[in-house]
Amino acid sequence: MSNKNVQVTLANRPTGWVQQSDFKIVETDIPKPGAGQVLVKNLWLSLDPYMRGRMNAGPSYAANVGIGDVMVAGTAGEVVESNNPAFKPGDAVVGYFGWQQYGVSRGAELQKVDAKAVPLSAYLGAVGMPGLTAWWGLLDIGAPKAGETVVVSAAAGAVGSIVGQIAKLKGCRTVGVAGGKAKCELVVNEFGFDACVDYKGGNLAKDLRAAAPKGIDIYFENVGGAVLEAVALQLNPFARIPLCGLISQYNEPRPKGLDNLVMLLINRVKLQGFIVSDYASRSSQAVAELAGWVREGKIKYRETIANGIEDAPRAFIGMLKGENIGKQLVKLF
C-alpha cells in the first residue's frame, strides 16, 4: 500500500458557478490511528448538491468548509487498521471523511454496514442519505394516499428516482420532471414513473398539465425556479410540498423566490422544508425498508461513477449541471 493519502481541499469560495480551480488536489501521509481509533480506506465518495452550499461563506444549517480544508462528504470503505474493539480490519463502514482516500475515526460516527445484503456503494445512494431523504420527505411530509398525483423534480437523480418509486409503491400516479428526452425515457422505462416532463422541452406548463390531468397533490421539490413556478399553478387544494432542495438556485448569486406564492394561499398548500439529518434518530426503520425494497427489486437505482479522487471536482460540477443519472459517486480505488 502506498503511504500517501490524496485529498481535495477548497481553494476558493466561488461566486456563481463553481470552477475546477476552486479545488486543490493535495497529498499527505496516511494518518496513523491512535488509541481507540480506526483507519478507514475510503472506497467510495459521495458527491451531493449540498456541498455547493458548504463552499459559501454565509451561514447555513451546517458549518461551511474553510479555505484549505478537505471538502466534506459521505464515504463508504473498509477498516484497514483498528485500535478499537468495536471494529476489525475488513469491516465495511459508512463515514463522513470527506474528499480523501483515507480517514481516522474514534468510531462514534462510523456506521457498520452489511455489504453482502446490498452493494457497499448503495449505502451512499438508494439505501443511504439520498434514499432516506426520499423516504422521509415523501412519507412524513408528503403523506401520500393511493390515487393521488405526485410530481417529482430532478426525477432521474439520486433522491428523485427513489421518491417516484416509493410513491408508486404507495399507489400514486407518479410524474417526473427531468432535463432532456433521454432522462425522461429512463424515468419512465427504468424507474417506472407513469409520465415524465422534459423541463428543457419548451412546453413545461402544457406538458405538466397533460401528465397530471387531475392536478398535483404532492410536489417533491428538488429544484426551485421555473419548475416550481409551473407546478404552483397546477396544485390541488390541500396539496403538500416537501421542500427538499433548490438546485437551480445554488449557483445563482441572487437566488429567486416564488412569484406566484398566492397559489399556495388559495389552495391551502402545506410547504415544509426539511433536512434529512432531522430524522437521524429514526433512520434504521427507513434503511431496513429501503434495503428490503432494493433486494426484492421493487426499487431500482442507477449510479454515475467517476474514477479516482482527482476526478471528483469535474464530476461534482457535472452533477450540478445534470450530467449524472442516479447517484453521483467517485470510485477511489
Ligand X SMILES: NC(=O)c1ccc[n+]([C@@H]2O[C@H](COP(=O)([O-])OP(=O)(O)OC[C@H]3O[C@@H](n4cnc5c(N)ncnc54)[C@H](OP(=O)(O)O)[C@@H]3O)[C@@H](O)[C@H]2O)c1
Q: Per rule CB under 6 A, is residue 271 in the interface with ligand X?
A: no
Among 50, 115, 140, 289, interactor with ligand X by CB under 6 A: 50
HSE on the CB side for 229, CA within 13 Å? Answer: 9
3-11, 112-120, 246-254, 293-301 -> range binding ligand X (CB under 6 A): 246-254
User: Terminal CA-to-CA distance of the chain, rounded, Å?
Assistant: 11
Looking at beta carbons only, is 48 or 194 nearer to ligand X?
48
Q: Per rule CB under 6 A, is residue 158 in the interface with ligand X?
A: yes
Q: Per rule CB under 6 A, is residue 157 in the interface with ligand X?
A: yes
Q: Per rule CB under 6 A, is residue 48 in the interface with ligand X?
A: yes
Which 2-41 positions form the footprint of ligand X (CB under 6 A)? Answer: none
Q: Per rule CB under 6 A, is residue 160 in the interface with ligand X?
A: yes
25-33, 92-100, 203-211, 271-279 -> range binding ligand X (CB under 6 A): 271-279
Nearest approach, Cβ of residue 210 and ligand X (Å): 19
Nearest approach, Cβ of residue 229 and ligand X (Å): 12
Among 127, 138, 154, 286, interactor with ligand X by CB under 6 A: 154
Q: Per rule CB under 6 A, is residue 305 in the interface with ligand X?
A: no
Nearest-5° Cα angle at 197, 144 to 184: 100
75-83, 85-93, 139-147, 238-246 -> range binding ligand X (CB under 6 A): 238-246
Nearest approach, Cβ of residue 301 and ligand X (Å): 11
Q: In one letter, which amino acid is 318? A: G
DSSP E strands in 119-234: the ranges are 149-153, 173-178, 195-198, 216-220
Q: In one letter, which amino acid is 1? A: M
Site string for ligand X, 194-213 (x = CB under 6 A): -----x--------------
- Exposed / middle / buried, residue 265 (Cβ in 10 Å: 0-12, 13-18, 19+): exposed
Among 105, 165, 174, 222, interactor with ligand X by CB under 6 A: 222
User: Are the CB atoms for 162 and 301 separated by under 8 Å?
Assistant: yes
Q: Per rule CB under 6 A, is residue 133 in the interface with ligand X?
A: yes
Q: Per rule CB under 6 A, is residue 74 in the interface with ligand X?
A: no
Residue 258 and residue 243: Cα distance in Å, rounded? Answer: 13
115-123, 188-196, 243-251, 264-272 -> range binding ligand X (CB under 6 A): 243-251
Among 74, 103, 164, 179, interactor with ligand X by CB under 6 A: 179
User: Are the CB atoms for 216 and 241 separated by under 8 Å?
Assistant: no
Nearest approach, Cβ of residue 268 and ligand X (Å): 24
Q: How many CB atoms lie within 10 A of CB 113?
A: 20
Task: For residue 108, give every residue at least 6 positions away whose Cβ sits within 8 Å of its Cβ, in sequence order, or none.
Answer: none
Residue 279 and residue 300: Cα distance in Å, rounded? Answer: 23
Q: How many CB atoms lie within 10 A of CB 331?
A: 15
User: Are the CB atoms for 197 and 184 separated by under 8 Å?
Assistant: yes
Q: Per rule CB under 6 A, is residue 306 in the interface with ligand X?
A: no
User: Are the CB atoms for 300 and 190 separated by under 8 Å?
Assistant: yes
Count of residues engaged in binding ligand X, rule: CB under 6 A:
31
Residue 224 and residue 247: Cα distance in Å, rounded? Answer: 7
Nearest approach, Cβ of residue 318 and ligand X (Å): 9
Residue 79 and residue 88: Cα distance in Å, rounded? Answer: 7
7-15, 87-95, 231-239, 269-277 -> range binding ligand X (CB under 6 A): 269-277
- Exposed / middle / buried, residue 68 (Cβ in 10 Å: 0-12, 13-18, 19+): exposed
Which positions lie near ligand X, rule CB under 6 A? 48-50, 130, 133, 154, 156-160, 178-179, 183, 199, 222-223, 225, 227, 244-248, 274-276, 319, 322, 324, 328
